[in-house]
Amino acid sequence: MGFSAHGKQCLHPEEALYLMECGNLQVFYQDLPLSIQEGYERFLYSKTMSVQHYQVFGHLKRLGYVVNRFDPSVVPCSSVPSQYERQLNLPQSQDRSGRLPKRKRSHSPTSRHTGTQEGPTSKRMEEEKDCNREEEDKNPDSLPDLSAPDIDEIQTASHVDPTTSTEGGQGRSWWSKEGSPDPDSELPGQPQSSPRWDFSSIPFPDLGSRSWLPSSLTSPDPCLLPGAVGSVGACDVAPWLQRLNLREVRMSRRECERERDRDRYRRDINQDREVRRCRNWAEYQELQGRRIQRSRRDRPTHLWEGPVTPLHDPAQVTSTGELLDKISVIKSTRLLEGASSLKGSEEWRICFNIYQPDTVAEFKKSAPGKPYSRMCVCSFDGPVPDLWTLKLLVFQSGAVPVTYAVVDHGDISFYSFKDFQIPTDTSF
Amino acid sequence: MDSPEQKITKTVSRVTASKESMANSRQVIGINFCGPTPLMWRADDLKSVRELGIIGNLVGSLARQPRQNTRLGRPLELLPEEGRLLADMGRAAVIPDSTNEDPEVEHYHAGLENSFQEQGALALEDRKATLMRVMTEKHNENPGCQEDSDGAVRDRLEALARGFSFPRTAMAVQLCTARAGLSHCPEVRRFLAADWPIPRDERSETRFRVFRDLRRQGFYLTSAGKFGGDFLVYPGDPLRFHAYFIVVCISMDESMPLCDVLAIARLGSNVKKTVLLCSSGGSQEDDGEEVVYTSLQWSGMV
């Protein structure tokens, strides 16, 4: 307890009064020692520290806790890591003001030229993503130059000549070179505009297949790998195979029957002829769209054409969970939602930080650590804390639980509110 | 004159500053307000208040064992209704905080010096007694050497008396619980008494009337926040009985939602107490107004 100010050791009034009551301290005023009664009258007059606050303070101190005043400017984010941060197990950011690093850091080129180097790398990532997206786009207008080693010099030209792109990609075997892209043709099912992946010629290693067990994998094409890696060399397959579980599954007869019954109604999407005819993702989406349109033609107009339509089309496949979400009226919410926008209150405030005694946790004045709880003092005569107050105080407190100490003419009861989520059945 | 350097002494004990006799039972009890809370500080006031049937709640540290919460010491915190009843009965008066008394510094220092002398003398006596005991034990162990043992003892005692010094820092200092001062004498309390603060709202008025009525009937009442009500009613001293009723004060024309009635009835039945819904009659006179009681009790199907 106590703090230093202007080079002197000072005590808060409630701390001084507590020590007086314990018989460890005498406070002199005008050369006379104060009695306990005078201590109460002189120290406990303000709203920050009334008799009720002091009763809670004394009660907790007598139980052995370390009790400090709460300072709202220190909390919430700076010193105490949030629960999410602790889950991630991030290294604690040290206060570097007074500490010199032990080892002088050598200036690596990345640290100096971070700005310039990150530019091209980020551009590279973006272009990779753009590549994959625009592959399937019917519109080849902003097609980037697909020759990977030269990505640093990517032009963002509005129209890239597709012939050059296909020529540029000649070094790789998985681009099929059929047809020149035609930017003007409409393409409902004629997917010839963009170069497509020819999956039959790309060797994807399948270590789990029983038909083909390679002894080693050949090195992939260096153009597939990130720039500076180069050729990797052949990969020995045996240690990887050891990690796989290649045993045959032996099912009992009952299980076999159950599988068969289930499979009777399960339709393998890969066996669907129309789906097999689609050659890329865009075509598949078109097929899905057409199917939905077809099913919609069967809809009764009196239901679907008016201003109020049914919530769900029974022909559509959906899960129970989605249906329940559609008819739900009350959405669940968390306690901290909208809490950051709340302004402070005169009536409700957190008064104390409570730390566990030294035997349980380490407490040092210089490094108190995370409090065990924070205390808000109220009484049964006053209003019950409403949701607004709860959100405000939980937000002010940060990651530390808030306890409400209700003082009833000398009797103290402690209450706390805990956030709770109704468990949802994930099978929906 | 020693300046009061001994700001922190090794042992500090608390003692009441008043030694007035208990003969006069019609003394006025002093109540001090600390903010809005009525507190009582003097031990004999506490005793007389208990005899009047007012219980209150002890909220301070116990002087002998300050670091525990099971038994607390002075001050005694009163319910506002208790204080008002005492004031109405004329048995208690509010003592205002007097900060304009002349600090009696010399008196204090003289008292401190006297105490120091006394303690020094007592310490010396204590040492002598210890020495005597040790020497007689030694004497008993060697019964052979009897030569001039009394003389040796006397010499030792004299040497002790000469060389003994009682350090200031070893002195025990009293830290008073209650304030010594003008309010010390009961006669002056009547003179100093301030008016009891009048409650502003109807709810406190209702509570007070219910309190007074139940007290008149001989029940002892304490606060009942933990039980969801206003008062707990005991047939006798709370140290000897369990509470019989939980009192909930509501105004006569206030409508109570059924959920609240059910909640309080459930609570009462869980703790095996009868719930009393109390309202005071509408009249403003002090005498003759009635308090209406409704009791809720869990009953089986008969």
Pairing of strands B57-60, B92-95: unpaired
Å between A290 CA and nearest CA of chain B: 57
Q: Is the pLDDT of residue B169 over 70?
A: yes
Chain A positions touching chain B (beta carbons under 8 Å)? 18, 20-26, 28, 30-33, 35-38, 40-41, 44-45, 50-52, 55, 58-59, 62-64, 379-380, 406, 408-411, 413
pLDDT above 80: residue A48:
yes
Residue type, A369: G
Average predicted confidence (pLDDT) for chain B: 81
Q: Which residue of A30, A45, A411 is in closest CB contact with B35?
A: A45
Do the Cβ atoms of A413 and B226 come within 8 Å?
yes
State the pLDDT confidence band at A342, using cuts at 50, 70 and 90: confident
Has this prediction a pTM greater than 0.80? no
What's the alpha-carbon Rg for chain B, to the nearest Å? Answer: 29
Task: Specify which residues A216 forms β-bridges with.
Answer: A236
Q: What is the pLDDT of residue A20?
A: 93
pLDDT surpassing 80 at residue A95: no
Q: Give percent of chain A with pLDDT exceeding 70.
A: 67
List the single range of A74-88, B55-69, B260-274, B285-299 with lowest mean pLDDT. Answer: A74-88
Q: What mean pLDDT value characterizes chain A? A: 72
Q: Which of A26-35, A97-106, A253-262 has the lowest mean pLDDT?
A: A97-106
Note the pLDDT of residue A152: 38
Residue B297 vs residues B176, B257, B272, B276: alpha-carbon distances, Å: 48, 18, 9, 9
Per-residue tokens: A4: 């230093």
Which positions in chain B touch A25 (Cβ < 8 Å)? 8, 12
Residue A94 to residues A302, A348, A365, B136, B222, Cα–Cα distance (Å): 68, 33, 18, 69, 54
Mutation for testing the B interface, residue in A36, A46, A413 having most B CBs under 10 Å? A36
Q: Convert the pLDDT of each residue in A286-332 to its tens digit.
A: 998 988 887 777 778 788 888 888 888 887 778 888 888 888 888 87
Look at strands B57-60 and B73-77 and give their pairing.
Answer: antiparallel
> Is the peptide bond prior to A371 cis by the omega test (within 30 degrees of 0)?
no
The structure tokens 């991630």 sit at: A88
Minimal CA separation from A392 to chain B, in Å: 25
A354-392 per-position pLDDT tens digit = 998 877 777 787 777 888 999 999 998 888 999 889 989
Which residues of B are designated catalytic? 234, 242, 273
3-state per-residue secondary structure call for chain B: CCCCCCCCCCCEEEECCCCCCCCCCCCCEEEEEECCEEEECCHHHHHHHHHCCCCCEEEECCCCCCCCCCCCEEEEECCHHHHHHHHHHCCEEEECCCCCCCCCHHHHHHHHHHHHHHHHHHHHHHHHHHHHHHHHHHHHHCCCCCCCHHHHHHHHHHHHHHHCCCCHHHCCEEEECCCCCHHHCHHHHHHHCECCCCCCCHHHHHHHHHHHHHHHCCCEEEECHHHCCCEEEECCCCCCCCCCEEEEECCCCCCCCHHHHHHHHHHHHHCCCEEEEEEECCCCCCCCCCEEEEEECCCCCC
CB contact under 8 A, A24 and B12: yes
Q: Given this model, what pLDDT does residue B107 score? A: 83
Interatomic CA distance for residues B147 and B145, integer angstroms: 6
How far is B53 from B221, CA to CA, in rounded Å? 8
| pLDDT given at position B281 | 77
Banded model confidence at residue B293, pLDDT cuts 50, 70, 90:
very high
Q: How far is CA A202 from CA A172, A173, A220, B83, B133, in A?
A: 10, 8, 10, 93, 106
Per-residue model confidence (pLDDT) at position A21: 93
pLDDT at B100: 56
Residues pairing with A94 in the sheet: none
CB pairs under 8 A between A and B: 117
- CA B9, CA B173: separation in Å to the nearest integer? 7
| Per-residue model confidence (pLDDT) at position B7 | 44
| From A83-97, A156-170, B64-78, B221-235, the region with the lowest mean pLDDT | A156-170
Q: How wide is the angle at C-alpha A202 spanned by C-alphas A199 and A203, nearest 5°?
A: 125
> Using CB atoms, which residue from B7, B39, B226 is nearest to A28?
B7
**Closest-CA residue in chain A for B42?**
A37
Q: Which pLDDT band holds residue B12 (cuts at 50, 70, 90)? A: very low
Mean per-residue pLDDT, A189-207: 61
pLDDT given for residue B259 in this prediction: 95
User: HSE-up of A419 (CA within 13 Å, CB side)?
Assistant: 14
Interface contact A50-B60, CB threshold 8 A: no
B77 exposure class (CB count in 10 Å sphere: 0-12, 13-18, 19+):
buried
Handedness of CA B217, B223, B227, B230 (dihedral sign): positive
pLDDT of residue B132: 86
User: Which of A212 and A151 is assigned the larger pLDDT?
Assistant: A212
Answer yes or no: do B66 and A37 touch at CB < 8 A: no
Residue A412 pLDDT: 94
End-to-end CA distance of chain B: 84
What's the pLDDT at B4?
44
Per-residue pLDDT tens digits for B63-107: 889 999 999 998 999 999 999 999 888 888 888 776 556 667 888
- Is B2 within 8 Å of chain A by CB? no
> Are A411 and B57 in contact (CB < 8 Å)?
yes
pLDDT of B175-220, one tens digit each?
A: 888 877 655 566 666 666 667 777 678 888 899 999 999 999 999 9
CA-nearest of B264, B130, B280, B151 to B212 is B280
User: CA separation (Å) from B285 to A28, A307, B86, B197?
Assistant: 49, 68, 19, 19
Q: What pLDDT score does A323 carry?
A: 86
- HEC string of chain A equals CCEEECCEEECCHHHHHHHHHHCCCCCEECCEECCHHHHHHHHCCCCCCCHHHHHHHHHHHHHCCEEEECCCCCCCCCCCCCHHHHHHCCCCCCCCCCCCCCCCCCCCHHHHCHHHHHHHHHHHHHHHHHHHHHHCCCCCCCCCCCCHHHHHHCCCCCCCCHHHHHHHHHHCCCECCCCCCCCCCCCCCCCCCCCCECHHHCCCCCCCCCCCCCCEECCCCCCCCCCCCCCCCCEECHHHHHHCCCCCCCCCHHHHHHHHHHHHHCCCHHHCHHHHHCCCHHHHHHHHHHHHHHHHCCCCHHHHCCCCCCCCCCCCCCCHHHHHHHHCCCCCCCCCCCCCCCCCCCCCCCCEEEECCCCCCCCCCCCCCCCCEEEEEEECCCCCCCHHHHHHHHHHHCCCCEEEEEEECCEEEEEECCCCCCCCCCCC
